[in-house]
Structure formats: structure tokens, C-alpha cells
Amino acid sequence: MLISPAYAQGAPAGGGDALLTFLPLILIFVVFYFLLIRPQQKRQKEHKAMVAALKRGDRVVTAGGLYGTVSKIIDDAEMEVEIAEGVKVRMLRGTVQDVVAKTEPASRVPSRGRKKKDEEPESADSEAADDGADEAEQRK
């Protein structure tokens, strides 16, 4: 025979090296968790909170790159966005990429003709008295 048979060497009998064998795989998983998985979960949580906080009047950017103003919240999954004057599109809330401008909450405007109880109407006499006192101080 020209070719001699090759025999495998016998492996040493020891089971304590199993942990050392899997240690690189465990370290790779830990690195992937802190560098990839955890930041992605945080980003998803922020996006979900942003989508839940959308309200009428917010200016948004869609995933398709369209700018628009939220004109109506239909339900938890859908909304109506006005992308041009008179052009309204019904879309999924999850497709909102970013909120460009938030609307301010409506402030309470006192009704016309009514005054608060604490306020007293100023009379023309008190204004004239104040003006007279100011003029007297200026003369001195």
C-alpha cells in the first residue's frame, strides 16, 4: 500500500472545559444585548409613547417622507392627516416617523364682557387722580 491509514488521536477525557468552550459565545451575546437589543427596545418604547401622544394639530413626518398636520384621530390605530390644503389622507398611526411641531393645549380665554370677581373696574376719576399726582411730582 502506498497510502498509510491515518488514525485520530484520542481526545483527553475531561469535562471541565465545557464552560471555557461556551464563554466566547456568552460574551458575544452579552455584547450584542447591550449594543443592539437594548437600544432598539428603548427606541421602540419612545416611538410607541410618541404615537400614543399624537393629537389634532400636531405637525408630523410620515415614514414615506410626507409632512402633514393631524386633522383627526380616528381610533388607536388610525388617524387622518392633511398633507395639502384640502387633501386629507387616512393612515396608520404607527407610520408616523417624527413629530415636527406639537400644538399648544388650548388655554382658557375669559369670556367677553365678563370680569373676574377679584378685578375692580377702574374709573376715570381714579385715572385722573393718578395723572394729577404724576404731574405734581414732575413739577418738583
pLDDT in tens, the chain (140 residues): 577 776 666 555 555 688 888 999 999 999 999 999 999 999 999 999 999 999 999 999 999 999 999 999 999 999 999 999 999 999 999 999 999 988 776 555 555 655 555 555 555 555 555 555 555 555 55
pTM for the model? 0.57
Cα angle for residues 12, 16, 20 (degrees, 5° grid): 105
Residue with cell 389622507: 89
- Complete domains list, the chain, with CATH: 26-101 (2.30.30)
Which cell goes with 136? 405734581
Where do we find the cell 399726582? 133
DSSP β-bridge partners for residue 115: none
Measured CA to CA in angstroms, residue 62 lies from 33, 65, 75, 90, 103 at distances of 29, 5, 18, 12, 17
The Cα–Cα gap between 116 and 29 comes to 65
Grid coordinates belonging to 44: 421602540
Output the CA–CA distances (angstroms, integers) from residue 2 to 5, 6, 8, 19, 41, in the order listed: 10, 13, 19, 43, 63
